Amino acid sequence: MPLNEKVLQYNKDKSVIGTILTTTPLKLPSVLQQAPNLVFENHEALGAVADHEEIKKAFPNTYGRARISLKPSAESKAASAPLRFACVLSGGQAPGGHNVIAGIYDYIKKVNPDSVMLGFLDGPHGIYSGNYCVINDDMMDTYRNTGGFDMICSGRHKIEKPAEFEAAMENCKALDLDGLVVIGGDDSNTNAAVLAEYFEANKCKTKVCGAPKTIDGDLKVDPYIPISFGFDTACRTYSEQIGNLGQDTLSSQKSYHFVRLMGRAASNIALECALQTRPNVCLISEEVEAQKMTLSQITKYVADIIVKRSAAGKDYGIVLLPEGLIEFIPEFNDLISEINDILAKDIEPTEAAVTPHFSAHNKEVFAYLPEAIKLQLLMDRDPHGNVQVAKIETERLLAQTVRAELENLATAGVYGGTFSPQYHSYGYEGRSCFPSLFDLTYCYILGQTVAAMLSLGCNGLISSVTNLTAPVGDWVCGGVPITMLCHMEKRHGKLKSVIKKALVELEGEPFKCFASQRDSWAMVDCYRSPGPLQLFSDSPSLELCITLTLELTKTDIRMAPVSADFKKNAVMFANVTNAPLVGPDAAIMSETQSRRKAFTPPVIPKLAAGAQATGVGFITFNSSTAPKPASKIGVVVVGEVAPGMHDIISGIFDSMGSGSTVHGFVGGLLGLLNNKLVEITAEKLVSYRGQGGCELVNRSYSSMNPNSFQIIGNTCKSNSLTGLVLIGGSETIESGVSLNQYFTSADIGTKLVLVPADITGATINSFVDMSVGFDSFTKTAAELVGNNATDGASAKKYWYFMRIMGGTSSHTTLEVALKTKSNYVFLSEEILAKKMKLEDVVQDLADVIATRAAAGKNYGTVLIPEGIVWAIPEIAQVITEIEAYNTSSDMKLDTTAMAAQLSATARATYTSMPDYVQNALLVTVGMSSAVDISGIDTEKYLTHLITVELGNRKKAGTYSASFSCVPSYLGYQARGSLPTNFDVTLAYNLGQTSTVLLAAGLSGYIPTIGNLSGSVSTWTPGAVIAASAVGGTSLSLTSPVYNTYSSTIKEQCKTTDLYENPGPIQFIGPDKVIDSVPLLLSTV
């Protein structure tokens, strides 16, 4: 094919963190600081990892070469003439790829400023098709230290056919390339080795070397390639989310979170995440295979732990499983193989058509599976007609088989708990995020190293950087023959030479460390929250992931076993009489958690100097030196979990007068109703300052029943409480107003303050500028959305439908949209204002997808508010009628029986919905009649509807592209995050303001802080009568920030990629990174 040079239009990420990172310099080993005055030293010739003779036959020219290391020299052995190098990104994305390119670019420019760097576009296909671009300074500087592969994009093509090899060589000759770098995983570097062999055999001057890339961690050879790039970042990103789940889980203590982790066949990611976060259960595929565990045995193993935890009063937990688990279960291997064979005979992919062709054993296995999994096995095929194992929702499969087992155990009288599973799949958001400091540095050095090798005439080597436990200046750089990593493996029925995958070694130190502690983790809640990835540091050494540290040093201080005292005291709140949960000890807390404990939030000057609240209705805060009266204040977390809740309590505690005490009702409303409280002391509070969730006192329900007011009043009286602080959202405020009225009429004497802490933003109004937790939640969600947007722009083949937690309003969705510039954003309030029906919603989105596809952009990001179900009239009618039935009857119905209760119109909508939506609509919030909208997978439902619509358009000839969607729900993994500096400071000052209000004898007020968009020194404390701020607030379609979005951003983003990745929350670094405020504050 003729060469095709393209001039790329690239988007400069205008996010604050992206702008700073692209100009951040990186350290180099001392040897590379001497470049280009380098030579290489030969070491041992390593042959192959196995099957030496077969590998030698496959690579007669490049087999048996020596491992090399780079050494400084008095003068360069490489030519000082301009070099012409090219690179290609191959396979799935991994954080750090752009820095490999940067390392190559900077090295060849150091050799000679006139050196030329090319990038082959869209993966190996670009090499043989001749599609490339010239990388210049501006382009390179735009992508330095950024995530994704969107600079030149990637692809999964392989150079396999003779014509492709010939075309690749001719293109390299025509471009006069001295070197070509293949940046990829095991298969990609195998392809690099084959290409290097072919070029050398045909006397092509272009040398080919590789760089080890894969988030899966399955490309490594001890001690020469200790880790592939991207693994560290991906695991830290997933661990942040799992750690957040841990904080959320301990706060509510009502759900089991089943988390499927990307990683293909290897369980390296699952193992590292387990070491980072300490879940209750983590399955390792390699162990499952070694022990020949069946699905039934795996189910019984998990169920046994759940039963034991339930007996200890713990009906909650976290279960991790690798995405490749299903491939290691013996009966599944046989089943999948037989399904592939059956469907290859053009048999219809339905259960009825396929079942008669199964062997007796596979027929039994297939019948055991949930319906949704059966459908995935039959319908989701790859281009070769095989089952796409990575798309099978193994987390749902396992949860459903566990549920069935628990039901059997309950019938037998062995189990008496409740099992409420939540499902998560973490993968794509970890492939294209901002790289960790380790990956940033490691990749840059890998790039410089491979450039040095090519400039010295090396061919068929993969970049190797070792001595990673030392400071960066002492890292050792060199190369290893790719053939050394190879063995023979059967592919498509034939033996081929390929790089051997590095799976979890059951005798390796990481697995042994995990195995030695997992029994303790199963029963003791010692979850660790690693927190968001921190991208700024001045340490001479870089923190390595736990797996790598254990492999290199055999020990890691982060893996200290749980202490005996922690085991003894770690009990659930339901079993507590007058003691809170024990705080995480130093061995359990992550470095980031420990750092957050030490953060001292600034206090508003008027509060710091001592303040007194005066007035009725309109409250003024005046400076006062008068001592505060002794008081006894009770604190109850009523609302859903929100980051910063602990700091409200800290603010109250630190501002109390002499002789005062603070008491927490353990278990939220349940603790208040059952009179279970504990005095909060400095020693108990210290572990929770700056931490996420509300683990110190927990929560249960979000609103109070008037029938319980007398009990609450008696509790306050019996404990002689002078004040009661309720922490929560709009439901809390609404029921709190009624409670205050009861307190007044019944002369309870306890004064009541209601603190707005709520991630949804529904408490934001003309009186309350911002609620605690909103900033942390939206920044964490925006990080994940930004990562997915970068991933989509890199692969150019996926749409990401992301549902954002936020209740019935769209505040969180708009805030995330403003931070990320997503392509299409649903806002419930817009849908209501435009009176859009379900068909309108689907058609509008399908039009955007079709328009982008026609422009060559078959990818994008879509944000969906959680409350969209109330905005679409057909769905809202169904929910309304179901809730009416729930109010009138306590009898639980299945989907068929419920359909019979609905009106004809609602029934038609309901029965047209997929089974998972119909079933979700039958789940209520707690003991109420309200449908739990958070459990409705609207993102999956819209994916289904869009797939059908685009399929119809394809049949009609108006749409010709493919459509591949990755749906996800961003909720719990963001709700339990460590709070931002903004949220900690807001929460702390609201706590102090609450104390001032109670000291003044004021009751029924909401503490407020004004001028939040300014510095803390300009913030102003205030208060509003809660009765004037009752009711959840919808997003205002007349606000300045919405008008800016709708008039200048919304339409442009539909066709133009203006993506911004705000990155993870930062706690150290430049002030403008760590102290930013919510964008919605411009509405007040």
Please identify every residue annotated as catalytic: 216
Give the C-alpha separation, 262 to 264, whole Å. 6
Burial class from Cβ neighbours inside 10 Å (0-12, 13-18, 19+) for residue 720 reads exposed
d(CA 762, CA 805): 12
Report the DSSP pairing between strands 824-825 and 860-865: parallel
Backbone φ, ψ for residue 780 (5° rounding):
-70, -45
Nearest to 455 by CA among 892, 73, 1024, 981: 73
Which residues are CB-contacts of 519 (< 8 A; sequence separation ≥ 6)? none
- Is-contact 989 604, C-beta < 8 A? yes
Residue 532: closest CA among 1077, 1073, 1063: 1063
Q: What is the largest CA-CA distance in the chain?
A: 96
Q: How far apart are the C-alpha atoms of 384 and 494, rounded to whole Å? A: 16
- Short-list 984, 982, 1081, 1002, CA closest to 754: 1002
In order of 252, 670, 694, the CA distances from 581 in angstroms are 13, 15, 11
CB 695 within 8 A of CB 571: no
Which among 930, 992, 876, 880 is positioned nearest to 703, based on CA atoms? 930
Take residue 381 and report the two structure tokens written for it: 């095929």
Q: Which DSSP string do the residues of 771-792 spell out, in sequence order? A: -BTHHHHHHHHHHHHHHHHHHH
Cβ-proximal residues to 295 (8 Å cutoff; 6+ apart), any chain: 329, 331, 332, 365, 368, 401
Within 26-163, strands assigned E span 38-45, 66-72, 84-90, 116-120, 131-135, 154-155
Beta bridge partners of 476: 466
Three-state SS string over 900-942 comes to HHCCHHHHHHHHHCCHHHHHHCCCECCCCCCECHHHCCHHHHH
What is the C-alpha separation between 1032 and 1001, in angstroms, rounded? Answer: 27
| Residue 383: cis peptide before it, omega within 30 degrees of 0 | no
Q: What share of the chain is helix, strand, coil (3-state, %, to 5)?
A: 45, 15, 40
> Which helix H or strand E contains 14, and what residues bound it?
none
* Cβ-proximal residues to 79 (8 Å cutoff; 6+ apart), any chain: 111, 455
Instruction: Please say whether the beta carbons of 626 and 637 come within 8 A.
Output: no
For residue 165, CA distances in Å to 122, 126, 161 come to 17, 12, 6
Neighbours of 848 (CB within 10 A): 17
Helix (H) or strand (E) holding 209: strand 207-212
Residue with tokens 């209740």: 807
328 Cβ neighbours under 8 A, 6+ residues apart: 265, 285, 286, 288, 289
